[in-house]
Amino acid sequence: DAGVTQSPTHLIKTRGQQVTLRCSPISGHKSVSWYQQVLGQGPQFIFQYYEKEERGRGNFPDRFSARQFPNYSSELNVNALLLGDSALYLCASSLGATGELFFGEGSRLTVL
């Protein structure tokens, strides 16, 4: 079975641009979470969606938004990119609303 898949794997943007990151959860998993991992630090929670509803939001500005589709895949959008948004964006899925997370390999965003 396929694990969590994310696209794109790498991308480069310039300040002020917008980016959309995509995530497909493990088959049967209904919860998707997004984390930001800055180089040298642990991942930080951005959003969780379960059954297409937002279940949690971390301490990130409104420039960050997400949604979950009927097939449980998810998109993370970041508007008005800043240099500080450069990071590895990790998507994770789980079977239910709680429990261990299974992560994808991430989308590495570089903002110039």
Q: Which of 28, 41, 70, 71 binds other proteins (CB under 8 A)?
A: 41
DSSP bridge pairs for 94: 31
Letters for 53-82 (x = contact with other proteins by CB under 8 A, - = none) are --xx-x------------------------
Q: Do the beta carbons of residue 70 and residue 52 sit within 8 Å? A: yes
Tell me the C-alpha to C-alpha distance, in Å, between residue 52 and each of 7, 26, 69, 70: 20, 15, 6, 7
| Residue whose pair of structure tokens reads 């969606």 in the numeric block | 49
Please tell me whether residue 28 binds other proteins under the rule CB under 8 A: no
List contacts with other proteins (CB under 8 A): 3, 31, 33, 35, 40-45, 48, 55-56, 58, 88, 90, 92, 94, 97-106, 108
